[in-house]
């Protein structure tokens, strides 16, 4: 498989090169030259295909010959080494729980896949790859955990002081080893700005092999398709295809779901469930992509003003707005609606939604008034957001066994002002440049 840049000013590259670069030199995003078509006979038996085999078959065409069959099998095995249960919440709503990975968020899948690919590609190299990433909370933890002890890869994570939850901060700062957390005295946008400047800095580029680990990177974006295959594996055979409600920010997850649908996986329409940061809504109405200043909400991982993966959705549907609208709608949910969803689902079903899944739930509820059934993608465990959730449900959230040790580990982070000059000086000396 070859990948082209959505800006079409950079050369076509292999999976390996696209994964190592992150973004194309012309600042476009990499996109596969063709979307693999899945054999429908094989898909008809999806319920009896072992999940590792399924994952291997889905990812193989995208990776091509860049990773050996045996290695890729190993990589997908480690990538989806936990459960993805689809549970019925209400008569017409099923929840796909994507939070059973090591950092309790769906981002674990992409981070694990990408880290193992980069580790594999770094084997034959003398220079280290440096992964630089800004996080509002979930990305950092998943990336830290995914890349911990991966040889040949150095990870630097920037996060805003005081703006991530306690569990999130612990996940970022307790890894040590090849993972360095930098606490920025500023906002997520400041962190993002520093990362952007670093990627544009020629002096750094000449000396460090820098790459991003957000959903811009195909090695993090593409494996997200697997959620949808795993959902449909568990979807009752007697039911018609479900509507898919996807809590959305950068639109990476939903774009991956649409890619799975384009390659033949039978699903109903998609809902991009957003908080008030809903650039996608404006886009679907006007066809014009404008970027907005992000506003803080309770579902902070979706506080994105300029969703980077929108361009990939456009590519998938040949930039045809009415085609896109026939597949995807958007729904905007306020913080009040988010609270209400957490509260009512807890009261009615004793089920605890995190604020992101709550946005998806409200959106799905509205759409299903017209009938049909749906799958809600629950993107994070509520224990990651106890500050809000516990206040709403009036009781404490049981802490999963898997993360209890976190609370006893010591934290390490570098404190830094929100300035690119400070960051550059630090990375320069630290890397011995
Ligand atoms: C990152 C994240 C999202 C948004 O996903 P995108 O792929 O950026 O649209 C939603 N929910 C949670 C919990 C997240 O961490």
Residue 144: CA atoms inside 13 Å, Cβ hemisphere, count? 30
Total domains, the chain:
1
Looking up tokens 């070859």 gives: 2
Does 379 sit in the ligand 1 pocket, CB within 6 Å?
A: yes
Residue 335 maps to a domain:
yes
What's the rounded Cα separation, in Å, for the pair 79 and 280? 30
Angle at 122 between CA 120 and CA 124, to 5 degrees: 100
CA of 402 to the centre of ligand 1 (A): 22
Closest C-alpha residue for ligand 1 atom 8: 250
CA of 207 to the centre of ligand 1 (A): 32
Question: Radius of gyration over alpha carbons of the chain, in Å?
Answer: 20
H-only helix segments in 95-187: 107-122, 138-147, 166-173
Q: What per-residue confidence (pLDDT) applies to 431?
A: 84
| pLDDT of residue 188 exceeding 90 | no
Q: What is the mean pLDDT of residues 420-426?
A: 97
| pLDDT of residue 252 exceeding 80 | yes
Residue 31 maps to a domain:
no
Question: Which DSSP symbol is given to 81?
Answer: -
Q: Other C-beta atoms within 10 Å of 164: how many?
A: 24
The first and second tokens of residue 369, run together, are 């008034």
Ranges assigned E (strand) in 145-269: 153-160, 179-185, 209-212, 243-247
Residue 214 maps to a domain:
no
Closest C-alpha residue for ligand 1 atom 1: 301
| pLDDT of residue 192 exceeding 90 | no
CA of 123 to the centre of ligand 1 (A): 31
What's the rounded Cα separation, in Å, for the pair 213 and 194? 15
Residue 251: CA atoms inside 13 Å, Cβ hemisphere, count? 25
The first and second tokens of residue 78, run together, are 């480690």
Q: Other C-beta atoms within 10 Å of 317: how many?
A: 17
Q: Is the pTM of this model over 0.85?
A: yes
Q: Which tens digits make up the pLDDT trace of 1-25?
A: 999 999 999 999 999 999 998 989 8
| pLDDT-derived band at 424, boundaries 50, 70, 90 | very high
Atom of ligand 1 nearest to the CA of 107: 15
Of residues 174, 142, 135, the one with CA closest to residue 158: 135
Q: Which tens digits make up the pLDDT trace of 202-237?
A: 999 888 989 988 889 999 999 999 999 999 999 999
Identify the CATH number of the domain in which residue 296 sits.
3.40.50.1100
Residue 68 maps to a domain:
no
Does 330 sit in the ligand 1 pocket, CB within 6 Å?
A: no
Instruction: Give the range among 289-293, 377-381, 410-414, 417-421 with minimum mean pLDDT.
Output: 289-293
Q: Which tens digits make up the pLDDT trace of 121-139?
A: 987 766 689 999 999 888 9
Q: Which residues, 6+ apart, have CB-to-CB distance to 375 below 8 Å?
A: 86, 93, 94, 95, 96, 231, 235, 242, 243, 244, 245
The rounded percent of the chain whose pLDDT value lies above 70 is 99
Of residues 274, 245, 236, 241, the one with CA closest to residue 376: 245
Residue 355: which domain range?
Answer: 83-105+221-393
Residue 192 maps to a domain:
no
- Cβ-based burial of 189 (10 A; exposed 0-12, middle 13-18, buried ≥19): middle
Closest C-alpha residue for ligand 1 atom 14: 301
CA of 112 to the centre of ligand 1 (A): 16
347: left (phi over 0), alpha (psi -120 to 50) or beta: alpha
Residue 177 maps to a domain:
no
In whole angstroms, what separates CA 15 from the centre of its chain? 19
Q: What per-residue confidence (pLDDT) applies to 258?
A: 98
3-state secondary structure at position 321: helix
Q: Which residues, 6+ apart, have CB-to-CB distance to 66 below 8 Å?
A: 14, 15, 16, 121
Residue 415 maps to a domain:
no
CA of 125 to the centre of ligand 1 (A): 33
Does 138 sit in the ligand 1 pocket, CB within 6 Å?
A: yes
Does 308 sit in the ligand 1 pocket, CB within 6 Å?
A: no
Q: What is the mean pLDDT of residues 403-419?
A: 95
Q: Which residues, 6+ apart, have CB-to-CB distance to 366 below 8 Å?
A: 331
- Residue 60 near residue 42, CB atoms below 8 Å: no
Bridging pattern class, strands 153-160 and 129-134: parallel
Most informative mutation of 29, 138, 217, 313 for ligand 1 (most atoms within 8 A of CB): 138
Residue 269 maps to a domain:
yes
């Amino acid at each position: 498989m070859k990948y082209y840049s959505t800006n079409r000013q950079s050369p076509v590259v292999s999976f390996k090169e696209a994964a190592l670069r992150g973004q194309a030199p012309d600042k476009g995003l990499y996109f596969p030259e063709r979307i693999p078509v899945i054999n429908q006979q094989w898909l008809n038996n999806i319920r009896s295909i072992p999940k590792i085999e399924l994952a291997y078959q889905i990812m193989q065409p995208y990776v091509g010959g860049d990773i050996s069959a045996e290695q890729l099998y190993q990589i997908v095995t480690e990538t989806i080494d936990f459960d993805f249960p689809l549970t019925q919440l209400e008569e017409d709503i099923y929840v796909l729980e994507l939070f059973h990975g090591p950092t309790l968020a769906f981002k674990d899948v992409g981070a694990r896949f990408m880290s193992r690919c980069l580790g594999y590609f770094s084997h034959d190299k003398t220079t280290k790859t440096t992964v630089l990433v800004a996080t509002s909370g979930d990305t950092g933890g998943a990336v830290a955990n995914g890349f911990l002890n991966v040889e040949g890869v150095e990870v630097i994570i920037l996060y805003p002081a005081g703006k991530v939850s306690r569990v999130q901060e612990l996940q970022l700062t307790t890894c040590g080893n090849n993972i360095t957390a930098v606490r920025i005295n500023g906002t997520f946008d400041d962190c993002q700005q520093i990362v952007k400047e670093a990627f544009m800095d020629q002096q750094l580029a000449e000396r460090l092999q820098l790459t991003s680990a957000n959903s811009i990177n195909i090695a993090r974006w593409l494996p997200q398709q697997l959620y949808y295959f795993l959902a449909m594996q568990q979807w009752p055979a007697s039911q018609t295809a479900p509507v898919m409600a996807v809590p959305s920010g950068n639109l990476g997850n939903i774009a991956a779901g649409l890619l799975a649908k384009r390659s033949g996986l039978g699903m109903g329409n998609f809902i991009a469930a957003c908080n008030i940061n809903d650039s996608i809504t404006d886009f679907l109405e006007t066809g014009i992509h404008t970027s907005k200043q992000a506003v803080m909400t309770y579902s902070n991982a979706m506080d994105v003003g300029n969703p980077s993966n929108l361009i990939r959705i456009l590519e998938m549907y040949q930039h045809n707005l009415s085609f896109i609208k026939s597949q995807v709608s958007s729904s905007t949910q306020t913080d009040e609606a988010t609270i209400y969803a957490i509260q009512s689902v807890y009261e009615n079903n004793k089920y605890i939604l995190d604020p992101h899944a709550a946005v998806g739930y409200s959106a799905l509820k509205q759409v299903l008034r017209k009938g049909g059934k749906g799958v809600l993608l629950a993107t994070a465990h509520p224990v990651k957001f106890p500050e809000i959730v516990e206040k709403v449900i009036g009781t404490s959230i049981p802490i999963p066994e898997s993360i209890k040790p976190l609370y006893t580990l010591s934290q390490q982070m570098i404190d830094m002002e929100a300035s690119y000059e400070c960051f550059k000086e630090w990375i320069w000396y630290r890397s011995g440049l």
